[in-house]
Structure 1
Amino acid sequence: MAWIFWIILPFAGFSLGWIIRWLYARFQLTASEQRAERIKQDAIKEAEAKKKEILLEAKEQVIRDKNQQERETRERRAELQRYERRVTQKEESIDKKTAQIEKTEELLAEKEKACQEREGALDKEEERYRAELERISGLSAEQAKALIIQDLENEAKHDAQGLINKIEQEATLAGEKKARDILVATIQRLATEVTGEVTVATVTLPNDEMKGRIIGREGRNIRTLETLTGVDIIIDDTPEAVVISCFDPVRREIAKVSLERLITDGRIHPARIEEIVTKVTKDISQKIFEEGEKVLFDLGIHNIKQDAIRALGRLYFRTSYGQNVLYHSKEVAVIAGMLAAEIGCNRELAKRSALLHDIGKGVESDSDLNHAEIGMDMARKMGEDPRVINGIGSHHNDIEPSCIESVLVQIADAISAARPGARRETLDNYVKRLENLEGIAVGFTGVDKAFAIQAGRELRIIVNSDTVNDDQSKDLAKDIAKKIETDLRYPGRIKVTIIRETRITEYAR
């Protein structure tokens, strides 16, 4: 029986433990349910309190909104009442004014009737007076009217001319002062070199024996050099010098450099000449591109195509009245940029237009167009701004300037070309220009003498004081200036001065 006890004892212990654990779990579950119930009751109470609080706040908000709406309604009602009172007052005022206008119209109608009757009487009286005046003066009404109109016209012209002269003098003084300040400020800041080039180049020889070597056997060397470079080589009695002549400055430069290298090398024969000319041509082509790039770099101008850079570089070998065209274009760009900065317009656009204004001179073209038109076509193909194209085409007034930058290009071009020492002029052309100036002035009625002075910068005219009065002198000066602008081409500007004097001589005996 003992062994049965030991077998049942573990099962009894296990059953007792499970029962205890089940009772403990049941106790915990009951406690949790009670705690959960308390939490639920507390939450319900808190929710009801919150609900009451929210309802209370909502009621208060509704009351506040209702009070606000009632207050706004009262204010609008009061404002409407004020508007109604104003409208009523205005209607009353309009009614009163309408009544006054009706009374005034009646009075005006009566006055108009009286005026018509008075006008009829005055017309009859005027006819009587006109007939009497015609009888006394011996002139008809039309003749008298023409005399009066002529007198009034002369008097009006005199007064108008005086007023015009006064306005022009004031405007001229103010404009000249402002323009002088701008130009002086620009010129004072300008520091460019003045260069002089000629259409022929001279190559110095170490001795006169070198002339024979340049000519070669039966002239083959000189013919080869002239054929390859397209120049004329003049060998005369001038000691130790050879003259190279060519209208194309680039070909002239190639020939000059090639001849100098041949003289330095000493080997002068057709094969060597061809080799040297080919090499120099490449060097000059590279120099042309470098000169164009250098100017663009100095001016800070970008986005220029290679064809335009080469055209600019070719201007380095071209001159106009002794002035290097590339340096002239650079100088014009600098001046235009300064002027643009002074007056507050587009500085970069003015510089770009000024630099490219003579680019047509550097374009190799067989066209019969002038350099301004060629430059416009090139700029248009490069996609330049229309204002740049206009500045190129209008710098010699071939077309009308369309913007202030184009006018600045004209001014800068004139400053660069006309300043002292910039250009040279042959004596024949100089004398011819002065004669043309004087001839234009002498061709006008009332001009006794004309003198071109200050190298053609001023034209002084002496008029007959009996034929031309003071007012006519002003018109005469304008007419002569316009004639000069129309008939002559000249750099800068020409001052026209009219001198009129009345000289009376009497002798005391």
Structure 2
Amino acid sequence: MGIAQDTGTGSSLLLAGGVLIGALCLVLLGGLLMLRQRRAELDRREERLTAELQRLHQHEDELAARAAESERVREELAARSTESRLLLERTAGLTSAQAREEVVRAAESEARRDAALTVREIERQAVTEGEGRAREIIASAIQRLAAEHTAETVVTTLRLPSEDMKGRVIGREGRNIRAFEAVTGVNLIVDDTPGLVQLSCFDPVRRESARLTLESLLADGRIHPARIEEAHERSRSEVERLCVRAGEDALLTVGIGAAGEMAPELVRTLGTLRYRTSYGQNVLGHLVESAHLAGMMAAELGVDPEPVRRAALLHDIGKALSHEVAGSHALIGAEFARRHGESAEVVHAIAAHHGEVEAKTVEAVLTQAADACSAGRPGARKESVEAYVRRLERLEEIALAHDGVTKVYAMQAGREVRVMVQPEAVDDLRAQEIAREVARQVREELTYPGQIRITVVRESRATEVAR
């Protein structure tokens, strides 16, 4: 039995070993099949890569051929360009440098024309948008200000209590009138006009002192040289006091008080302008009016009105000194204000209010605008017929001096100038340039209230006759 059991066990082991060997053979067979498949797949990939490499080589050969062709074409084009340039130079008689200059000049001319068109369009838009706003601000300021019309003269007339006072004014052998004129520096005119005498002097402050002196003498009745000197001294002191009072009243009227103290000499000099006129307009009244206008316009624009009012109030202070110091009243006044402690903004606005210095601040521009509004409003100023005629003649002369201008007409009392030009000699752009140049010359050479409009008329006509 033991032998039989050993035999059975050996058979089982052999059977298990056979099964295991069979399984191993199957695994090896499957691995071999997979290796063959991978090898076949790798062979196919190698064939594809080889074919792709061949195509890349062919593409490189084609590119090299095209590059060579391009280089050949480029060389051919360069040669033809050189031949063409030489042919053009021979045909036109120009070198390449000359031709280049000609092309640059043509481009520059075209660029200038385009720039002129652009400038004109920008100016048109600026005028359209800015003119309405400016008119609104200025009109609002003018409507809010009530001012007097001009009624000032350069001669003061006094009425005598009686006709026999003329003899007492003249004195024995004219000694009283000679003493009066020597002391006051004013001409005393005694003519045949019943009950009246006249005082004439270029300096209105001296004329006012003389008026008070003569009124005092007439009221007292005692007229002789010593009495004239005494009365004149009192009158000068009175005028000095009135000037200071007028300057202080102007500051209070404008609203420049404790918040903006002013040097006493400035206040006194400002007050003397109470007795001065410009084209018949009282200068101190003009300054107060300008200060109100400038302050209102500054408030509309959101600018601090205090320095603007101050600059506008002082902008003509140089007129009180212009008979003593040579030069423009704008520059004289600016220097005077600077010496007495005014700020740089105020000094610049005074110097620039007539355009002699370029306006670079808002205060300066508003001072210019307020000055023009006050001087140009209806009833503000008057001028002599001779000055008016000279201004019209000069307006026409300035416009006629430009090439292509045929006729010039000063219209609307010199507020507009119509300029007729030859259409074949002046194009539209040149017409615009003529208008701008004439306006610039008028601003630089002439003094005038308000503004002057320059209109250039270019008209083309075609005429035929039917027979």
TM range (shorter): 0.7 to 0.9
Q: Is structure 2 residue 141 aligned with structure 1 residue 186?
A: yes
Pick the aligned partner of 1:386 from 344, 360, 364: 344
Moved more, 386-395 or 214-223: 214-223
Q: Is structure 2 residue 283 aligned with structure 1 residue 325?
A: yes
**How far apart are 1:480 and its partner, in Å?**
2.0
Deviations 1:297-326 (A, max 9, x none): 111113112111110110001111111111
**How far apart are 1:462 and its partner, in Å?**
0.6
Matched residue of 1:239: which SS?
A: coil
- Give the AA of the match of 1:126: S
RMSD value over aligned CA atoms? 2.8
Instruction: Give runs of aligned pairs for residues 132-211 of structure 1, distance below 5 A.
Output: 140=94, 142=96, 152-211=107-166
Query: Structure 1 residues 400, 134: CA separation in 2 closer, same or farther (over 3 Å shift)?
Result: closer
Aligned to 2:436: 478
Q: In 2, Cα distance between the equivalents of 1:196 and 1:369?
A: 28
Aligned to 2:5: none
Instruction: Give runs of aligned pairs for residues 73-472 of structure 1, distance below 5 A.
Output: 119-131=74-86, 140=94, 142=96, 152-302=107-257, 303-363=261-321, 366-472=324-430
**How far apart are 1:119 and its partner, in Å?**
4.2
Deviations 1:18-64 (A, max 9, x none): xxxxxxxxxxxxxxxxxxxxxxxxxxxxxxxxxxxxxxxxxxxxxxx
Q: In 1, Cα distance between the equivalents of 2:327 and 2:441?
A: 26
- Give the AA of the match of 1:245: S
Q: Is the 8 A contact 2:217 2:231 kept in 1?
A: yes
- Give the AA of the match of 2:140: A
Q: Is the 8 A contact 1:387 1:405 kept in 2?
A: yes
Aligned residue pairs, count:
401
**How far apart are 1:494 and its partner, in Å?**
1.8
Matched residue of 2:198: which SS?
A: strand
Relative contact order, higher structure (CA 8 A, sep 6+)? 2
Matched residue of 2:354: which SS?
A: coil
Deviations 1:372-403 (A, max 9, x none): 23322322222221111111222123333331
Q: In 1, Cα distance between the equivalents of 2:321 and 2:361?
A: 26
Query: Structure 1 residues 365, 472: CA separation in 2 closer, same or farther (over 3 Å shift)?
Result: closer
Query: Structure 1 residues 502, 228: CA separation in 2 closer, same or farther (over 3 Å shift)?
Result: same
Q: Is the 8 A contact 1:288 1:316 kept in 2?
A: yes
Matched residue of 1:450: which SS?
A: strand
Deviations 1:211-254 (A, max 9, x none): 10111222232223222222110111122211111121111111
Query: Structure 1 residues 154, 396: CA separation in 2 closer, same or farther (over 3 Å shift)?
Result: closer
Q: Is the 8 A contact 2:294 2:309 kept in 1?
A: yes
Q: Is structure 2 residue 457 aligned with structure 1 residue 502?
A: no
Query: Structure 1 residues 446, 149: CA separation in 2 closer, same or farther (over 3 Å shift)?
Result: same
Structure 1 vs Structure 2: percent identity of aligned residues? 46
Q: In 2, Cα distance between the equivalents of 1:251 and 1:488?
A: 30
Q: Is the 8 A contact 1:194 1:422 kept in 2?
A: yes
Moved more, 460-469 or 205-214: 205-214
Q: What stretches of structure 2 of length at least 5 have no aligned partner?
A: 1-63
Q: What stretches of structure 1 of length at least 5 have no aligned partner?
A: 1-109
TM-score of the aligned structures, taking structure 1 as reference length: 0.72
Matched residue of 1:268: which SS?
A: coil
Deviations 1:68-110 (A, max 9, x none): xxxxxxxxxxxxxxxxxxxxxxxxxxxxxxxxxxxxxxxxxx9
Q: In 1, Cα distance between the equivalents of 2:242 and 2:167?
A: 31
Q: Is the 8 A contact 1:346 1:405 kept in 2?
A: no
**How far apart are 1:473 and its partner, in Å?**
1.2
Q: In 2, Cα distance between the equivalents of 1:156 and 1:358?
A: 45
